[in-house]
Amino acid sequence: MNDTFHIEPMDAPLGARVLGVDLSQPIHATTVARITEAWRQRLVLVFPDQVIDDDQLIAFTRLFGDLDPPGPNPYGAPFLSEHPEINVISNVLVDGRPIGNLGAGEAIWHADMTYTDTPPMGAVLLGLEIPEGEGNTYFANMYAAFEALPSSLRMRIEGKLCIHDATYNSAGMMRKGYKEVTDPRTAPGARHPLVIRHPHTGRPALFLGRRRNACIVGFELADSEALLDALWAHATQPRFALTHVWRRGDVLMWDNMATLHRRDAFAETARRVLHRTQIKGIAAPTAA
């Protein structure tokens, strides 16, 4: 089984399609090794036409590392009590209560849970209900963004740490247990180098986390804001990015240490349901 699969790089600065692997079946160690290599090189992998349940999603994720449970959501309890290690991304309400996170609005550019000391290495996202042609997800390659960084910006961020605020999710919702941040210099969350060495590949990558309430340690607020605005404008250019147009049954797997991602808003009346797992990081990010 699964020995005739192939990996097709996309015509984009990151991304590949993995065809001919059935994620509901046991996957041979040599196939896992090839997928792992493609994940390291292409950063985002798409496995189309998968029919898998939550246990199979978890089993697939565990092939690449330990599971990392989701961070606190705005509602203070896991969405799936039988699977607290799975995050549900959805706008659907049942009896007036959200069955998942992020609603139907835009999710702005971010990497996941970088407010923790050891952010997740990656994530796996299974599309269960998908509104046609809406709610696209975009990924940007932070190796490429670093390599193309103008030297004036590169010099200014060398050796600098940034505060990664934990207060809000990418849809702008406050996480349960946090309070509004009035000064980003005091935001709760980890401090990480702005340029990290990827824990697996050793390659330098820009590591921005999310823009809201970010602050470069030791800078005046206005100087930090100006430099971060310049870095974000650079890093999120279309020339570093990939657009994923979802189809039901797509499984996406991404490298969280070398990419940013965002999602378009979609109609509130549409149903969009995705289940998501995370792969634990192996160490706190170190400076490149």
Residues that bind ligand SIN (CB under 6 A): 89, 102, 107, 137, 170, 261, 263, 274
Least Å distance, CB 170 to ligand SIN, is 5
Q: Closest Cα to residue 126, out of 53, 64, 75, 74? A: 53
Least distance in Å: CB of 278 to ligand SIN?
10
Residue at shortest CB range from ligand SIN: 137
Nearest-angstrom CA–CA distance, 281 and 285 = 9
Q: Which is nearer to ligand SIN, 89 or 216 (CB)?
A: 89
CB nearer ligand SIN, residue 133 or residue 202: 133
Collect all residues with Cβ–Cβ distance below 8 Å to 2 and sequence separation of at least 6: 20, 21, 22, 25, 27, 28, 31
Q: How far is the CB of 1 from ligand SIN (least distance, A)?
A: 29
Residue 164's φ and ψ, nearest 5 degrees, are -110, 100
User: What span, in angstroms and rounded, lies between the C-alpha atoms of 110 and 87?
Assistant: 17
CA angle 54, 178, 140 (to 5 degrees): 55
Cβ of residue 82: shortest distance to ligand SIN, in angstroms? 21
73 in Cβ contact with 79 (< 8 Å) = yes
Which residue number, 170 or 277, has a Cβ lying nearer to ligand SIN?
Answer: 170
Minimum separation from the CB atom of position 137 to ligand SIN (A)? 4
> What does DSSP assign to residue 68?
-
